[in-house]
Chains A and B, each alone.
Chain A
Amino acid sequence: MVKRIRWRYLVLHVHAPLDLEARDLERSLRGHIRMFLGVYGLSRCPFKLVAYDREGKIGIVRCPHDSVEALRAALAFLSDIGGVPSSLHVVKSSGTIKKARKVVEGYVEKLKSHWALLELGMKKPSQATEK
């Protein structure tokens, strides 16, 4: 009998002063992870961006349970997205997508407001007041 893959769902928070679309984020992640782990590494760590909230900058990534640590390490080395200094923070790792979505719902407002304050601080005063 073929063994079922045990998936993990990582809730990611994107720290970037960018308005990214889901496909742009997935492309950047794939490019970075292929660069960091190589093609063989990527084949052992086949991840997929399952959902992404553009406004809250929170996404859910699915990967096999035994490659969570490799994915976390690879994500720690991500320093820019499209040339803009950025980072990713794994908020929570879950065994089911239902739980991951619940975490997103619970965290989205908190993270959004917290990150908005930090993002405002990253900009120069002249940029922060621009409309």
Chain B
Amino acid sequence: MDLHVRLSCGGDPPELLIGMARHLGYSLIALSLEKEPRGAPLEGLRSLSREAGLDLAFRLDLKPSSPGELKAWLSRFRRRFEVIAVYCGNVAVARTAARDRRIDVTFYDLENLPSLLDEGQMSLLQEHGKHIEFNLSDMLGLPVDKQWKALWSYRYAFKEAKRRGIPIVFSSGASRITDMRAPRELSAVASMLLEDASLARSSVSLIPARIVDENRGKLGSAFVQPGVRVVDEW
């Protein structure tokens, strides 16, 4: 599955993205929004993808500039989306995102990757079971000298994450259909960076699927709190 397909103003329309995902062989994708949509186009997209034979999840990408802003957005949006991801552009946001249990996935500013994904951040991610996400589309537009530096930083960070058992997710992060990649291609990139073929496959399929499944369970009416759910009412 692809946990990160972006809906954006400059990108392709969602119908095309869904069609391409099906063409590439995905069974589930998470469409990401950067803000809450007006009206109710989400249900229309869900039925469209159901017709195409694709399971669709909705994800919200938050890009806060401060921890206060992040917390305000989380209390407002958490119950409305299946996946909540936070773009960590500075250390304060990264630390808060790693601690807050309402957040599922964290992804990072490529320029400051080594300083953001440092020992302290890794410890927090490990302690709170948060995911690190790699978006392939962030790499595609980069000039070669920035691309190799970013790959080097990711490789180093993933080595540490793997040692600590921090789950890693590989996504396309695409907003155009030409930026989308087939699951096996993403897995090959993951395998190159993680140097572990089975972990690479999990980071493209099992780990993202688990995030969506768990959150769907939490958003259901039977959920009370982690480990407690309503089985039957009398």
Contacts and interface: CB of A to CB of B under 8 A. Distances in A.
A114 interface: yes
A89 B182 contact: yes
Given A76-B185, A77-B140, A86 B13 contact: no
A86 to B, nearest CB: 6
Contacts of B178: 15-16, 79, 85-87, 122
A75 B19 CA distance: 21
B12 A121 contact: yes
B20 A118 contact: yes
Determine chain A's interface SS by DSSP, over half rule.
helix
Given A75-B185, A76-B136, A86-B178, A121 B13 contact: yes
B186 A76 contact: yes
A30 to B, nearest CB: 16
Contacts of B186: 76
Interface residues of B, number: 29
B24 A76 contact: no
Nearest to B192: A73
A7 interface: no
A121 B20 CA distance: 11
B139 A77 contact: yes
Nearest to B197: A69
A70 interface: yes
A63 to B, nearest CB: 13
B215 interface: no
A90 interface: yes
B118 interface: no
Interface string B197-213: 10000000000000000
A122 B178 CA distance: 10
Interface of B: 12-13, 15-16, 19-20, 23-24, 136, 139-141, 144, 147, 176-182, 184-186, 188-189, 191-192, 197
28 contacts: A15-B178, A16-B178, A35-B144, A69-B192, A72-B184, A72-B188, A73-B188, A73-B191, A76-B136, A76-B181, A79-B141, A79-B178, A79-B179, A85-B176, A85-B179, A87-B178, A89-B23, A89-B181, A90-B184, A90-B185, A115-B23, A117-B19, A118-B16, A118-B19, A118-B20, A118-B23, A122-B16, A122-B178
For the complex of A and B, 3 pairs with smallest distance between CB atoms: A72-B188, A79-B140, A76-B185
